[in-house]
Amino acid sequence: MGFAQPVSRFDIDAFLAWESEQPTRHEYLQGEVFAMTGARDAHNTIALNIAAHLRTALRGGPCRVYIADMKLRLDATDAVFYPDVMVTCDARDRSPEADQFKRHPILIVEVLSESTAAYDRGRKFEYYRGIDSLQEVLLVEQDRPHVDLYRRAERGHWLLESHGPGGQLHLASLGVSLPLGVIYEDVAFPR
């Protein structure tokens, strides 16, 4: 994702109605609307690799995998985001009322770009931590083979597990292993 540009101010329901008629995606945060720019090849390849692996691993169960075009609504934060990948296993997110956005993810994946990495690691991660159902957040670098997996622990703490080349992470919330070789398949890193 590129750097978001502010475009207007709405309340969350007006934003959702307006955004559903727009040709491009926008994120919403506390009255401000931000146009989302396109992503690089590596960003899209990484997100697709992760989503495809999770979809295959979770097929036939209660969990659903969503990619960048599905909204995540955070009422407590007054925000609407588009995570690169998210997984929800909550039946409420499969109801007809949840067709436009999800509220109960168990896993969120953000592919970091140079322009958004600080925000994704900082303020956005802070907002994500307020989601009761959320168990893991995976932050994936696109310029080198490196991921940071944050896992919810007791008393609101989050544990960090980092993986580099040749690593394999275990998504405990889903019972799925995810090798870095799968995440970065077909990705050409800058020299």
Domains, in order of start, for the chain: 39-183 (3.90.1570.10)
More confident residue, 146 or 34: 146
Q: Is the pLDDT of residue 125 over 70?
A: yes
Tell me, what's the pLDDT at 61?
Answer: 96
3 state SS for 63-110: CEEEECCCEEEECCCCEEECCCEEEECCHHHHCHHHCCEECCEEEEEE
The model's confidence at residue 48, banded by pLDDT at 50, 70 and 90, is very high
Q: Is the pLDDT of residue 92 over 90?
A: yes
Q: Is the pLDDT of residue 18 over 50?
A: yes
